[in-house]
């Protein structure tokens, strides 16, 4: 889904914020200020870059702004385990989606839950908007902005604004993982990244190669993934080559112009191996110094693609045709045990839990809660 362009009066604000998002890919110390500005732009009271693991009921805030350290500690120690949003997010939301709490759960059910009444309500938290950055076999990562009671429910304007920023967050976070350095001085970007394991090339708007690190030169020399032809970067996969050159041309117009294009461009090598390319614009922000020094508009990072597997909860829901409500009951039963414990956590009656449980037994061909625990554990196993 593509977000509409911002009105003229906010275009400068958005452009500046996107520039800072990309600068934070090179210097993580900038993330807190980026989250503060994101929070104000989307309209919220707190924001974070976070990941959560549905298999182990664990997670962390990589960076945050506006949250209360006391309640954040409580969340990871106690309330993450009974967060009714975790299952719906991993089963319903895809990478690149923007969702709100009240999209994922019935209102009355959420407001009756222990999670809301003991953790969210005391802080005045009413709703939150999440942009899904990444999902793996058991975890997901997101940028989140929390809405206070006074700000009300996530509305269409908040969604529009988050959709404008999300592709840039995705690209910046992904490149930050590829670089895997605490801080990179933008002015000496090429020199700093010469020893990077991933192939890195600096290119101009026409795709001409202006600099390549050792891994990049080796990649071009092999010619399996990409080659240099007439000084230009040419991907062996024609579709990927067109996508990359489209991004390079857009990068000349600034960070915002790159938009959602090619956040992760899949590359198919001649030998059948799969690679992925990530493009970091160099025409704005602190990165502009590196771009000017090399007359480059973008840095391209290429590495072998990791195996992508569906999330186990998605697989369970699909295999047994379980509804979102049945998945919430199933995962809470597995985590907490009995019907009396599950009902107050989910904010529903024991009779409703029993009804859902009987349907789950029927769909999974089981008859005991212990069988459900074994079933879920089997899907969560890396050997499943």
Q: Which domains does the chain have, with CATH numbers?
A: 8-179 (3.30.450.80), 186-304 (3.30.450), 312-380 (1.10.10.10)
State the pTM of this model: 0.74
At residue 228, the 3 state secondary structure works out as: strand
Nearest C-alpha neighbor of 168 from the set 235, 247, 233, 240? 247
Phi then psi for 45, rounded to 5 degrees?
-115, -15
d(CA 244, CA 273): 19
Phi then psi for 196, rounded to 5 degrees?
-65, 140
Q: If you count them, how many residues does the chain have? A: 384
Q: How many CB atoms lie within 10 A of CB 3?
A: 17
* pLDDT, one tens digit for every residue, the chain (384 residues): 556 656 667 888 998 999 999 988 888 889 999 999 999 999 999 999 998 876 566 778 889 999 999 999 999 999 988 888 887 877 777 889 999 998 888 888 899 999 999 999 999 999 999 999 987 766 788 999 999 999 999 999 999 999 999 999 999 988 887 765 545 665 566 666 666 778 989 999 999 999 998 889 999 999 999 999 999 999 999 999 999 999 999 988 888 888 877 788 999 999 888 899 999 898 887 787 766 677 889 989 998 876 555 667 777 888 888 888 888 888 888 877 788 888 888 888 889 988 988 998 999 888 888 888 888 877 765 433
* Residue with token string 């990562």: 141
What are the DSSP calls for 41-68, one per residue?
HHT-SEEEEEEEETTTTEEEEEEEES--
* Inter-helix orientation angle 350-364/369-380, to 10°: 60
**pLDDT at site 241:** 95
Q: How many CB atoms lie within 10 A of CB 230?
A: 6
CB-based burial of residue 246 (10 Å sphere; 0-12 exposed, 13-18 middle, 19+ buried)? middle
Show Cβ contacts of residue 297 under 8 Å, excluding neighbours closer than 6 positions: 203, 204, 205, 248, 251, 252, 281, 282, 283, 291
At residue 292, the 3 state secondary structure works out as: helix
């Amino acid at each position: 889904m593509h977000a509409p362009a911002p009105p003229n009066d906010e275009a400068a604000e958005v452009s500046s914020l996107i520039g800072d998002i990309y600068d934070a890919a090179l210097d993580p110390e900038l993330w807190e200020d980026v989250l503060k500005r994101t929070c104000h732009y989307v309209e919220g009271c707190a924001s974070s870059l976070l990941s959560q693991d549905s298999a182990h009921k664990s997670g962390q805030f990589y960076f945050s702004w506006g949250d209360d350290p006391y309640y954040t500690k409580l969340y990871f120690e106690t309330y993450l385990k009974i967060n009714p949003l975790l299952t719906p997010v991993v089963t319903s939301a895809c990478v690149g989606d923007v969702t709100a709490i009240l999209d994922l759960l019935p209102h009355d059910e959420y407001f009756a839950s222990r999670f809301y009444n003991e953790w969210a309500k005391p802080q005045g938290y009413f709703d939150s908007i999440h942009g899904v950055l990444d999902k793996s076999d058991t975890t997901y990562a997101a940028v989140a902005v929390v809405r206070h009671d006074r700000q009300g429910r996530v509305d269409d304007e908040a969604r529009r604004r988050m959709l404008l920023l999300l592709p840039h967050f995705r690209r910046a976070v992904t490149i930050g993982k590829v670089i895997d350095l605490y801080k990179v001085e933008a002015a000496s970007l090429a020199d700093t990244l010469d020893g990077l394991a991933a192939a890195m090339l600096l290119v101009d708007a026409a795709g001409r190669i202006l600099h390549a690190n050792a891994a990049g030169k080796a990649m071009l020399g092999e010619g399996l993934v990409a080659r240099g032809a007439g000084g230009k970067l040419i991907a062996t996969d024609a579709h990927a080559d067109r996508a990359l050159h489209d991004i390079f041309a857009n990068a000349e117009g600034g960070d915002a112009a790159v938009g959602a294009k090619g956040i992760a461009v899949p590359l198919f090598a001649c030998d059948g191996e799969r690679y992925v390319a990530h493009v970091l614009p160099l025409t704005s922000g602190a990165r502009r110094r590196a771009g000017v020094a090399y007359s480059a508009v973008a840095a391209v990072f290429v590495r072998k693609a990791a195996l992508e597997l569906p999330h186990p909860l998605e697989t369970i829901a699909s295999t047994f045709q379980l509804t979102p409500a049945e998945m919430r009951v199933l995962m809470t039963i597995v985590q907490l045990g009995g019907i009396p414990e599950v009902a107050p956590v989910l904010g529903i009656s024991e009779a409703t839990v029993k009804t859902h449980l009987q349907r789950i037994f029927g769909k999974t061909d089981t008859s005991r809660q212990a069988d459900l625990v074994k079933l879920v554990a089997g899907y969560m196993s890396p050997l499943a």
